[in-house]
Amino acid sequence: MKDKILGVAKELFIKNGYNATTTGEIVKLSESSKGNLYYHFKTKENLFLEILNIE
């Protein structure tokens, strides 16, 4: 599930930018839950930084 969240978030950040991307969108498109998202990534910023570290 973590990889799916990362993939969806990356696509949304590229398409919409960081500020316009919401955790709600990420959760919906990754078919996850906010609890699961925040289990893996404490904040949207942490999620974004992990994507940058992967690239």
Question: Could you read off the pLDDT of 34-49 as tens digits, one per residue?
Answer: 999 999 999 999 999 9
Question: How many residues are there in the chain?
Answer: 55
Look up the pTM and report it.
Answer: 0.91
Domain 2-54 class in CATH: mainly alpha
**Whether residue 54 has pLDDT greater than 90:** no
Residue type, 45: E
For residues 16-41, give the mean pLDDT. Answer: 97
CB atoms within 10 A of CB 36: 16
**Whether residue 31 has pLDDT greater than 70:** yes
CA–CA distance, 32 with 4 (Å, rounded to integer) = 9
Question: Could you identify the residue written with the tokens 């404490």?
Answer: 42
**By three-state DSSP, how is residue 54 classified?**
helix
Pull the structure tokens for residue 27.
Answer: 């959760």
